[in-house]
Amino acid sequence: MTSGDSSRRPVTGKNTEWMIPSDQMIIRRYKPLRHFADTLENGFRAGQAEGYEEREGQASKPAREHERQRSERTESMILKNGEKMDLASGMEQAREAARENYYASCWRLGTDEDPEIWETYAGGRGVAIETTYRQIEEIIAPDQEDLYMGIVRYLDYEEEFTPTGIPYVLYFYKHRRFDSEQEFRVLTNRGGNPVIRTDGQEMTPESRPDNPSHVNLSADMDTLINRIILSPGADDELRAEVEETLDEHGVSAPVVPSRLDNPAPHHETYDTELGGAANYEASEEYLDDLIDRFVEETDWDVWNTVDVIQLNQREKLHPRTVFIECFRYVDDPPDRSEYGQEHLNYEVRAHRVVDGEYQDTFLNDPAEETDEELAEADNPSE
């Protein structure tokens, strides 16, 4: 399959409120060592949203207020049982109940490492399972249809709007205090979505599903896993245990130290980072600074080429919804037409820097069309 193949797995859509990264984006799952063997054997654990932070799957305050205002226009409508219609309360109740049906597997985008992430998600003694977005899309739970994937966007739940219509969309938003996670999420549903009650009545206990606290998402681990990264400070004993576990489960991926200990082994592949998910002020300056930082932090004694990619949905070129991807290469980089997601009509603006010198910017067709429209709007008389 190519990025332009319309038969690709429908983990998101052209007009959804969230996006997926380029196929080449490196993604990692951090795991404590005590859970590593179980993951290789049984798949990736996805926890029930009910057990996550209380805002998971919930609309933000401004979105709820807007929903309430719309609902007030229906208050004069009387239901058959004589009760007034209360759509807003029904929506909130349904979103809360849906937390029992949705399960999330949480990953981290990029190869940059954060000691706090290691401590929080690997318990200080663990591993990071490394793969790419394309492999996740193709390999994880291949027979499961109700699977959604995407980049998590962070926001201020007191100030910014979230969507309110489709329940699963809300699971690709998180509170800004989690923005250091740089999360990529795989979401699945077990049990559908609750019925939206408009009579203001509580859901009965019998109507709630008896779902488990987690489910496992299967995968061909040898095909999925590209590398295993050891936690910072890992000793020979930890490495030996990890290598033995991989061998027992038929996984041939190499094992390398954390770049916080030794960055050298990481130069054998390529580097990736992602930004833009936390652009709270919707600032173009924020995006420009992010692009500059990705380039300035590059060690040109190691890396030959840097591609900085601006991604946004078609005709939605707004600073708050643009993602910035950074790819660093030792060897020849890919053709820039391979970035983005052609089958979703994402706009791609790919800036290339070689040995510290800016070369040029590639625009795909949707991006060119948008830039032409903007130029015409700025110069209507031409």
Q: Nearest to residue 95, comparing CAs of 5, 154, 37, 164?
A: 164
Question: Residue 91 phi/psi, 5° resolution?
Answer: -65, -45
Average pLDDT, the chain: 90
Query: What is the average pLDDT across 166-192?
Result: 93
Residue pair 306/295 in contact by the 8 Å Cβ criterion: yes
Question: Which pLDDT belongs to residue 204?
Answer: 64
Task: Report how far residue 54's alpha carbon sits from residue 52's, in angstroms, rounded to the nearest whole number.
Answer: 6
Residue 194 has pLDDT above 80, yes or no: no
Q: CB count, 10 Å around CB of 240?
A: 11
Of the listed ranges 93-97, 134-138, 329-333, 340-344, the one predicted with least confidence? 93-97
Band the pLDDT of 128: cuts 50, 70, 90: very high
Question: Which pLDDT belongs to residue 200?
Answer: 58
Of the listed ranges 3-12, 32-41, 113-122, 128-137, the one predicted with least confidence? 3-12
Residue 243 has pLDDT above 90, yes or no: yes
Task: Report how far residue 228's alpha carbon sits from residue 307's, in angstroms, rounded to the nearest whole number.
Answer: 25
**What single-letter DSSP state applies at residue 85?**
P
Residue pair 30/128 in contact by the 8 Å Cβ criterion: yes
Helix locations, the chain, DSSP H: 36-42, 61-72, 87-98, 115-122, 133-139, 221-224, 236-248, 284-296, 365-378
Of residues 84 and 312, more confidence is placed in 312
Question: Which pLDDT belongs to residue 1?
Answer: 47
Q: Nearest to residue 177, comparing CAs of 103, 119, 116?
A: 116
Q: How far is CA 302 from CA 141, 270, 282, 376, in A?
A: 37, 11, 33, 42
Residue 77 has pLDDT above 80, yes or no: no
Q: Nearest to residue 271, comparing CAs of 108, 111, 84?
A: 111
Written as six digits, the tokens of 126 are 């663990």
Instruction: Find where tokens 């807003």 sit.
Output: 88
Residue 356 has pLDDT above 50, yes or no: yes
Would you call 276 helix, strand, or coil by DSSP? coil
Band the pLDDT of 162: cuts 50, 70, 90: very high
Residue pair 100/194 in contact by the 8 Å Cβ criterion: no
Question: Which pLDDT belongs to residue 377?
Answer: 83
